[in-house]
Amino acid sequence: MVQQGGMVVTGLLRLMKLARASGKRLSDVVQVAYNYMIVLKGRELYSYAFSLIQQKKDFGYLANADRKAEEVRVQKTLETELVERKSFEWKGRTLKNRAGSHTYAIRENGSVDVTHDNRISVLCIDMKFIDAVNEGKLRFI
């Protein structure tokens, strides 16, 4: 707020004191309202932060919800990248389950042909499939 927003240090300290007195953390308030605050400078930034602190909102809860949503988004991105990488690495390979009753043939496009009792079904590689391979439930042949 001081470097980017042009606020003086004493103003920042006053906001921190006010936030603490009202049971909030200034960092939570800034995290929740960051997209709105980034365009403000100096006194406008101070006034906006001041008015937010005085509201009866639970900024700690909102900030935690934002953090959790970001963690979920990052986790989904990592899982998607892993699925894409494994689909590429495993294309053209064949797996069997422990009992040997199912055969899994991985196609070039990342889908999987599952053969059981002369019937074929198709599924996509997902985290459950990758976990089954990692746990040894499915083995490459």
Residue-level pLDDT at 42: 87
How much is the pTM? Answer: 0.60
Note the Cα 80 to chain centre separation in Å.
Answer: 11
Amino acid letter, residue 109: N
For each of the chain's 141 residues, which pLDDT tens digit applies? 666 667 888 999 999 999 999 999 999 999 999 989 988 888 899 999 999 999 999 999 999 999 999 999 999 999 999 999 999 999 999 999 988 899 999 998 889 999 998 899 999 999 999 999 999 999 998
Residue-level pLDDT at 55: 93
CA quadruple 22, 24, 29, 32: dihedral sign: negative
Residue-level pLDDT at 123: 92
Q: Domain extents for the chain? A: 9-57, 67-140
The tokens describing 66, both together, are: 């934002």
Give, for 6, the enclosing helix (H) or strand (E): none
Query: What is the Cα–Cα distance from 84 to 88, expressed in whole angstroms?
Result: 6
Q: How does DSSP classify residue 62?
A: H
Residue-level pLDDT at 118: 87
